[in-house]
Every structure is written in C-alpha cells, then in structure tokens.
Structure 1
Amino acid sequence: MQLRLDAADRLVELIEERRGPVYAEEAARRLFALRHAPVGLARSLLEEVVGDDTRLAWRGDAVGLADPPGADLALEDAPFVVVDLETTGLRPGSSRICEIGAVRVRGFELAEEFELLVDPGVPLAAAISALTGLHDAELRGQPHPSIAVRRFLEFAGDAVLVAHNARFDLAFIDRETERLTGGRLAGPVVDTVGLARRLLAGRTRRAGLASLAQFFGTEARPCHRALPDAQATAEILLQLIGLAQERGARTVADLVDLAAPRVRKVYAKRTLAFGAPASPGVYLFRDRHDQVLYVGRARDLRARLRSYFRSERQRPAVEAALFALERIEWRPMGSEVEAAIEELRLLRELRPVANARNARPDRYVYLRRRGDKLVCSQTPTPLGPIRSRARARLACRALDGASEEELERPELALPRLRARLRHLADCRRYEDAARLRDRIRALEQILNYLRRVESLRHARCCLVVPALEPGFVRAIFVAGGRVAAVRTLPRGDGARLEVEAGLAETNRGTPDHLAAEELDALLAIGTFLRRPPPELRVAPLAANEILRLAAALPPALDGEPRARPRARAA
C-alpha cells in the first residue's frame, strides 16, 4: 500500500517537472527502473497507481494531473455528509475510533443523521472518559472500528465529506478504509477549520468548534460527543457556504480551494529542485548575485530539496533564504558520511548567513581552573572544546563554591547540587530552585558531551563507504582526535597503496587536548559510528581488513546514472 502511495507522489512530481502529461512508457521506466516498457505493459503497471489517486488521470496513453474534484458539482446540488469522531487518542497508528457521528446536508438543509458507538478494543484513558463521558462498559460489545467505518461509508455514499479539522478525522477513517479496501477515500473533503480561517479572517481570532458555534449561535452545542459535534459543524458549514458564495464560490471545487491552506509563496520555486538525484550529497542555495545563502546535506537530495517547498514554514533564516533563492546547486556524493564531511568544509569556508550552526571553531571554549572556580577560556584544556558558550557558563556557575575534588572531577558535585535543589524547593524558594535546576542541567549535558568527545578522541578506525565514481571506494581514516585522511581506493593493486598512505597519516600520537578545528568533523563521525547507515563499514587500522571490507562493499546508494555537480536556475 505504502509503495503505491509513494509511486503516486513520484508520478505527480514527474508530471509537474515535465509541466504536462507524461507518456506511460517513460513514467513506467522512471517509477519501476525499467530499461524498456511497451505501452501495454506500462499501462498495466500504472493502472492501479493512477486509478487509486484522484490527482492523476489518463490522457490517452499519457498520465496527467486530473481536474480538481468537485469542479462540475454546484454547491446547491451537492450532497454533504458532516462527520465527527471520538477517539481513544490523537494518533491514528496507535489510537482507535470509539464513536462516529454524522449529519447529511441536502439542499442546504440538515437531513438524516448517523450515530454509532464503537468498541476500540482497548480501555479508555481516564482523561478521554472525563472529556467525552464515554465508559468502557457501554463500548464493550459494540461494532469493531472496521465494521463501524464500513457502515458509515454506506451512509455517506458519494456525498462530499465535511469535518472540523478534517485531517484528524479523515486520518482515522482512511486507516480503517485501507484495511478494508487497500485504498484511501478519493472524493473531495471540506475542512471547516480552513474555511473559517479564510472567510472569517479579522472577525474572529479562533477557529475552534466551540468558538465558531458561539460566533454563529448554532442550535447544537459541541460537547465532545460525535453527533452533537457533527450537528454543530453542519450548522457552521451552512453559514460558511453562504459567505463563500458571496466571494464567488459556485462549485464544490471552489469551496475545497477556499478551505485549503494558503500556498506558500516559495512554492512557485519548487521547479528549482527538479532534476536533483535521489542520492546523498550537499546542496547550496544561491541568490541572484550567486552568493551562497545556505548549505545543507541530505541522504536523498531529491526528497530533501522538494521538502523545502512542500512542508510548513521553515525557521526564519531559512525562510528568508528561500525568498531570495534564485539557484540551487547540488553536489552528489557516494555516501551520507562523505556528504557530512563536505558540508562541514563548506560551512567553514563560506559561512552562509542562513545556517544556524555555522562551524566557528574560533568561538568554541574550554573549561579551566582559575583560583577556586572554573571559567570559560580559549586556552585548550582536557575539558573541551565546547560549542555552546552559554551552556558552558551555566555549568561553571553550578560549580561556584565547589570543593577542590569537585573542581578536579565535576561529576562529584552533582549529588550535592541535587540535594541543594530539593532543599530550595522544600523552602519554596522557587526562583532560586529554577536557576539552580538550569545550571545542573547544563552541567549534566556538558559532562555527557565531554565523555563522548573523550571517547572519540581515542578512536582509531577506518570508515569505508562507496565513492561517487562507480567501482571506487572512499576510506576515511580517524585517529589522534581528528579525521587524519580521506583516500579514494581504486580497483586493483592501487588500492593497497592508497590504504598505506592513509595509515601513514594516522601514526601521530593522540594529543593531550582536542583541537577546536577538529571537533565538528569528529562529532559527525561519532554520529555515524553510533547509528551506522547500511552502506557504512567500520574497520580497524589494518590494511588487509580495510581492503577486505572495501572489496565486499555494496555500490553507491543511487542506482540512477551519476551526473556531475550541477545546478538549476530560475
């Protein structure tokens, strides 16, 4: 099921990239990695993907985007079914339906009603029982969720579904529908939350069901039970349809369009990401002066770049970079490990304005003794380097008044500090307790971080990953608290020469203090050592073992033909 949904998403992206219908043969080749696909075979492979997705439609022997649902259905002729669910929780994957209520709207008047209790198969939480008034005893023996959803779908028929915060209710219904039919609901859906926000902008600040019911003075009052909430939503819908008609809405498609979230302005720039490969790599956002605004890395460049234009707003600095964006440059890599190292190099060299965590080793600090306390310093010591100066200062304040032994081993101060925190709380000195709590948390985080850095400082290993060039392997040598060397291993006897050259770079001893400029790369390596991706192999610093793992390494992640670094301009 999920594979079919992913294929539909990729097909929609391909049609948008081509700016028009795509012939079935090409679509089948791209989606199913076929070298050749006759028209008959291509249509049979795509039939289920196209037929189950309302965004797609056949245009002869090509696949294109379908007309919006409800485009030919006038509002006065449209049957609506307003639905509301009560559930055991908020997540469709782990929670279940416990009540369904629905109201049919025909000719702008409320008609038949549907109400059904559902046995979720799990006990209701006390908070849910208190909120809804439902109890396990009255739900026990009621229809199973899949049976209840089947009965609701029979009641709804071909009507346009309406819900308040439709994404929540439809997620539960879709989950049960997938179990029943293997597909999701395909008809148009109207969300009264989005519709109210668009039509009532400036007139009411809240779009909750209770707030809108009070605003419109509905006869039914929401009470966290399915049928009364559906009745209130139906009355609100009729009021909103009247406002929508004043704005020129004539069809269900117009209503759905008004209810849809407003498209971000940067969505129009999504074509800049067309053509990006589905492989690891780094990417650079450039403005009209070719200045680099932002640098990032991704395991899947295509998916990551397109997410900037399809998802919710980014943090302010990245959002500003997207508004100024004129060109995206991507550089495919053989692995995510190599992409991480390249990203750090670019951050140090370019210092893009939109990157929150620019690599600035000159700002990193160490903790060192000054009299009877610890202070932040640029002088290298065993306690560092630390990237967060603010957190380091809080940790130092936590150790004010510490004993000589605690200053030498700061972890020994934690029991005393926690006892002090409990004493302040018992004395109701809450502001002092809050300040001490923040300092203790900072000290704990710094100590955990320093233990991890110390472990990496003594690490001696070789990371073996695929290279971008087919048949080649990248060997990353880690020793002496740094990335000592990165070598490309070719086929044949040349691989041993490269390995020996890399091993020669690891012969330096481990320094007493970790250099600040080596920290970021070392932490990135540590992340991959803790959670290694499938293509990564870790070898000891022994030539034969490195060569053995390199020979058995799978090819690079992306099976598509490799392209040289390229960019897409507006």
Structure 2
Amino acid sequence: MNPAAPIQATFDDLGTSLADVTFVVLDLETTGGSATDCRITEIGAVKVRAGAVVGEFQTLVNPGEPIPAFISVLTGITDQMVARSPRIDSAMPAFLEFIGDSVLVAHNAGFDITFLKVNCERLQLDWPGNQVLDTVHLARQLVTRDEAPNHKLSSLARLFGATTTPDHRALHDARATVDVLHGLIERVGNLGVHTLEELRSYTRRVSPDQRRKRFLADSLPSAPGVYVFKDEHDRPLYIGTSIDIKRRVRSYFTASEQRSRMAEMVRLATSVTPIVCHTTLEAQVRELRLIAEHKPRYNKRSRHPERAMWLKLTVEAFPRLSIVREVRDDGATYAGPFGSRAVAEQAVAAVHEVLPLRQCTTKLSRKGTGAACALAELGRCGAPCTGSQSEDDYARLARTAADVLAGDGHVVLDALDRRLQSLAAGERFEDAAVVRDRMLALVRAAARAQRINPLAVSPELVAAAPTPAGGWEFTCVRYGRFAGATVCPPGADPRSYIEALRDSAEHVARPAAPVPAAHPEETEKVLRWLEQPGVRIVEIDGTWTCPVGGAVGARDALEPLLAAAREVTGFEESTALRRRAG
C-alpha cells in the first residue's frame, strides 16, 4: 500500500496554552435560585489573560419585579438601587459583546450559565456557546479538607489570599474568583497541566504518572490510522484505531479515559507507534490483523479469531453434524463461525429439533448392520445404522440440513417457528425460550455464512465511496480479504487510480470455501463498509447475490424477540412469547 501524504499538525491538535487563553470570570446576583422563575439583578465580570486583568464589566439590572427581602439582606441590593438601572434586554447584549469568544469561568458555573442561557432564550438572542470552566470542580480535585473546610468561594479566597473579599456583590465575587482561578492554575501547572484542554478535563483520577506520559503523543501524526502502545521491550500492550491518531492517543492521558485497565496500560507504556492509513476501513482492518497477530494483553476483543468454531455437515454415506475448528476444501457444507462451542452446540440442537439426522459418531456402512439407539426408538432418528432408512431417504434429510447451513433453510426454520409457537401457546415458556435461543444461534451462523459467501468466492471486487472533500476512496477486496486502498482527489481521473490499486494490491490465493481468505471478522467489516450509503461496486470478478427470504431475514425477525426478552423477566417474558405465538 502506498504511504499516505503527511498531514501537518494544527495548533488545536497540540492544545491551547493557558497563557494564550482569554478568560472572563463572571458572577451574577439574582432574585432567587430558579433561572426560569427568578431574574438577574447584577452582572459582574473580569477579563484576564496570561494572569493580567485586561477589562471589567459591571452593571446592576432592573429585574422588573420586587427583590425579596432576604435577597436584599444577603446581597445588599435593594429595589431603590436598581430602579434606574437598565433592564436585562439592554444589559445582556452588552455583556455578550464583552465576553466575545473567551472561556467563561464561574464558581458553581452551572448556576450562572443557566441564568444567562435562559435570559438569552427569553430575549431571542443566540447563546454563543463559549467553553466553560467551573472553579468548584477544579477545587474539589485540588483542595483537601485539611486546607479548607469546604469549597465555598469565601473559603477558597482565604486559602489563596484573594485581594478582594467576596460579599455577594457580582464584581467583588468575580474578582475573588480570579484569584482563586490563578491559585488553582498554579497548582495544576506543578502537575504538568499547561493547556486549556487538560485544565477543563482535569481530575485527580488521572495519576501524575499517567499525566506525565502525554509526551508520547507529541510526535504522532494527525491522520487516520492505527496506534500501538508498546512496553519497554517493544511488545504491543494495546492496539487501537482512530481518524486522528494524535488526538486519540492524547485522550489516554486525560480524564476522558476512565477505563481502569487503560490507566494501568499507560503506566507500562514507553512508546506509541503510529501506522497511517489511506482510509478508515484500512485502519480497522490493520487493527484486527495486528490484534490477532500480537494478542496484546489490554485488548479484549478479536485476540483469538483462530478459536472460532464451525458447524460441518460431513461428507459420507449418512452425513451428520459436527463441530470443528478448521474448514477444509473437502466438499462438506459449513456454517459459522461461532464464538464458542456452547453456541455451536445450540445450533446443532436446533437442527436436530426438526430433522431426524443421526447423532452418533460411528462411521456407518451402507448395509446398515448395527443396532438401533434410543433416539431411533423415540422417533428422533431414522436408524440408518440398522438398514431401516435407505441412503436415498437419508440424503433428502442431509440436503435439507445443507440448505439451512448455507442460509436457505426455510423448511427447517418454519418447522422451528411452529415448534416455538406451539410451546408458547401451551405456556411452556422456558422450553420456548430454549428453542428460541437455539433457533437464533442457527440463523445467526447461517446468515453470517450467507453474507460472507459472495465475497469469499469472488477473486476480486473494487468498490468506491465518496470522500468529504469531493474525491473517492477505492478499496480492493480479494476472496473476502482487504487487499488495498487508495484515495482519488477531486477532479482527478479515477480510472488511473483504480488500475494502480489493482496492480499494487495484495495477491490473495483462493481459500477453501466458504471461508474467506481473511478472518471472518475482517470480511464482515468489509461487508459493513460496502453496505454504507453511497458505496458502489466499480468492478467485480464474481457474483454479488443475497437470496430473498434467506437466513438474514429470519435472523432480523428473531433478534428483536430476544432483545425484548432480555428486558423482561417472569410473566413479562411469557407475555412476549405469547405475542409471538399469536
């Protein structure tokens, strides 16, 4: 694959230095605590940048209603003081002009910001959507009970030696909050926090060791691809994918990453290796392959695709169902893969529920000289071992089983559905749930095989998807394996890019059908990409089909039933099954 063109990192990717941020520290006085029922009586704000005050804003506001007596006692603001003050419809536009695009800071910011938003809505003004920083939140992370009895503004102002004493007047409280903000910033600076993004997401849940590792992201590209965290011995610890490698890796060193195992992983990591990819699909495929190859200890999914189970209808005089790990080019019919043997056994039980296939593992001769088993006595097997069932009669059963494994088993699925309805109608709800789960395990596997098969048997498929910039991304798939990708810029001749992609794409040998040349999870990712709106097939060497009324439809009908059953228990689950019966 051709390397993607390098993309220069932006200042936004590096983070905004706190020295370059303009803060507006604000405070409001109001007639009460409800933003919908009460009114603003005073606005005070201080604009600061790089630790220096660059402007102030203060105005009393006539609320248009009497100020409650207890509020006047608390704030010192009386009806007489605000009688000749501007109304909020004059004060708010002026205040919005003052704050501009700065970062808003307040102590218990939710209170003040809610009042401002509600009043903007009343006045039909657009709220500018400024970033907000709450000094209460920061104080809770940085100030212990040994230092201050609580996190009230008055307590923090004393702790940080504020030059203004807060007294419930808006400008005085805003000035005190400025000193508190600077004291808190000094503390986090000593912990290695130097950007606005880190400050807004700061939490003590992120350990100093974890925070110090953020330098690992400094040299990473802002481009789509895969990132690999490695330990001191260059062993992969965790593999992930992102549309922006640098931004995603930086998030592991902030509060946005809350998984405990990731904090442990970051402590062990000593480097991050980026792998830039042309497209998101290429990145997803590379991620799957690397996880399967290295099996990183901190990845939970996709580590062992080789452990998948398959359901096989054997090739012999009297075929039977068998659970195997390997698919061979032996003429047998396969379905799967299954995530575990237990799920595969459910699918086997679903087939045996309605088809009297033999369940013994003995290799039978065509003459049938054995003795009948208990299943034959129960009518669950035609007893070919005794000669009671001819090879031709049994072959018809085997063909029906082969059809359902291939995804076109409406005979078996209809029989299972009738069995399900009969059990539900008889209020045998537990038995009905067992049949439902077996049936779903079967149709999931059959649907998976049905969906994968067109790609698995196609020597080559080239598909295109439009890019946001107006060009095209092309993907080449061979026998279900992602073989290559490229991006055609807007205005360029796509044919030359397609030919170059086909010439440079990976050579893929024909696999043993129905298994694709890749792990099925990779092929399914390719399928999901192909099914996205706007994706179109450009060229195909093969046939792209999906039978109407196949296992995919049956699976889609059963999945909601199972989802409903998970949400209810006891009588409610019984009701869901009864509706199915009706």
Aligned to 1:5: none
- Provide the C-alpha distance between the structure 1 equivalents of 2:415 and 2:88, rounded to a whole number of angstroms: 58
Aligned: 1:365 with 2:309: yes
Tell whether the 8 Å contact from 1:477 to 1:502 is kept in structure 2 after alignment.
Answer: no
- Provide the C-alpha distance between the structure 1 equivalents of 2:39 and 2:518, rounded to a whole number of angstroms: 63
Aligned to 1:376: 323
Query: Partner of 2:222: helix, strand, or coil?
Result: coil
User: Which amino acid is the alignment partner of residue 303 of structure 1?
Assistant: R
User: Which amino acid is the alignment partner of residue 177 of structure 2?
Assistant: V
Structure 2 residue corresponding to 1:291, chosen from 235, 239, 245: 235
Change (3 A) 1:434 1:252: farther
Cα drift, residue 365 of structure 1? 1.1
Structure 2 residue corresponding to 1:323, chosen from 229, 249, 267: 267
Query: Partner of 2:275: helix, strand, or coil?
Result: strand
Between the two proteins, the alignment pairs up a number of residues equal to 389
Aligned to 2:574: none
Change (3 A) 1:419 1:321: farther
Tell whether the 8 Å contact from 2:230 to 2:270 is kept in structure 1 after alignment.
Answer: yes
Identity score, percent: 19
Tell whether the 8 Å contact from 2:458 to 2:480 is kept in structure 1 after alignment.
Answer: yes
Change (3 A) 1:328 1:500: closer
Aligned to 2:286: 342
User: Which amino acid is the alignment partner of residue 184 of structure 1?
Assistant: G
User: Which amino acid is the alignment partner of residue 451 of structure 1?
Assistant: Q
Matches within 5 A, 1:129-528: 153=92, 180-181=125-126, 183-185=128-130, 189=134, 240-241=152-153, 251-252=176-177, 262-263=203-204, 264-265=206-207, 266-310=210-254, 312-369=256-313, 376-380=323-327, 382-386=333-337, 388-389=339-340, 391-399=343-351, 401-404=353-356, 407-408=401-402, 409=404, 412=410, 413-415=412-414, 417=416, 437-463=436-462, 477-483=476-482, 511-514=512-515, 517-528=518-529
Tell whether the 8 Å contact from 1:272 to 1:327 is kept in structure 2 after alignment.
Answer: yes
Matches within 5 A, 1:543-554: none
Cα drift, residue 167 of structure 1? 12
Deviations 1:337-357 (A, max 9, x none): 443443344223322111222
Query: Partner of 1:328: helix, strand, or coil?
Result: strand
Uncovered stretches (5+) of structure 1, i.e. residues with no partner: 1-8, 21-54, 56-63, 86-98, 117-147, 202-237, 467-472, 543-570
Change (3 A) 1:334 1:495: closer
Cα drift, residue 485 of structure 1? 7.9
Deviations 1:265-286 (A, max 9, x none): 3344333212322222222101
Change (3 A) 1:501 1:424: same
Aligned to 1:226: none
- Provide the C-alpha distance between the structure 2 equivalents of 1:67 and 1:452, rounded to a whole number of angstroms: 55
Matches within 5 A, 1:10-25: 11-14=11-14
Cα drift, residue 441 of structure 1? 4.3
Deviations 1:367-424 (A, max 9, x none): 1348998553214254344151254444444445232567442654545555655666
User: Which amino acid is the alignment partner of residue 307 of structure 1?
Assistant: S
Change (3 A) 1:197 1:335: closer
Query: Partner of 1:275: helix, strand, or coil?
Result: coil
Query: Partner of 1:353: helix, strand, or coil?
Result: coil
Change (3 A) 1:346 1:279: same
- Provide the C-alpha distance between the structure 1 equivalents of 2:302 and 2:425, rounded to a whole number of angstroms: 43
Aligned: 1:65 with 2:20: yes
Two-structure CA RMSD over aligned residues (Å): 5.8
- Provide the C-alpha distance between the structure 1 equivalents of 2:443 and 2:541, rounded to a whole number of angstroms: 33
Aligned to 2:364: none
Aligned to 2:193: none
User: Which amino acid is the alignment partner of residue 513 of structure 1?
Assistant: P
Query: Partner of 1:297: helix, strand, or coil?
Result: strand
Query: Partner of 2:354: helix, strand, or coil?
Result: coil
Tell whether the 8 Å contact from 2:420 to 2:436 is kept in structure 1 after alignment.
Answer: yes
Change (3 A) 1:66 1:515: closer
Change (3 A) 1:339 1:417: same
Cα drift, residue 358 of structure 1? 3.3
User: Which amino acid is the alignment partner of residue 454 of structure 2?
Assistant: S
- Provide the C-alpha distance between the structure 1 equivalents of 2:242 and 2:528, rounded to a whole number of angstroms: 15
- Provide the C-alpha distance between the structure 2 equivalents of 1:115 and 1:297, rounded to a whole number of angstroms: 56
- Provide the C-alpha distance between the structure 2 equivalents of 1:314 and 1:304, rounded to a whole number of angstroms: 14
Change (3 A) 1:302 1:338: same
Aligned to 2:359: none
Cα drift, residue 511 of structure 1? 3.8
Query: Partner of 2:312: helix, strand, or coil?
Result: strand
Deviations 1:435-471 (A, max 9, x none): 55544544443333222212322334344799xxxxx
Query: Partner of 1:451: helix, strand, or coil?
Result: helix
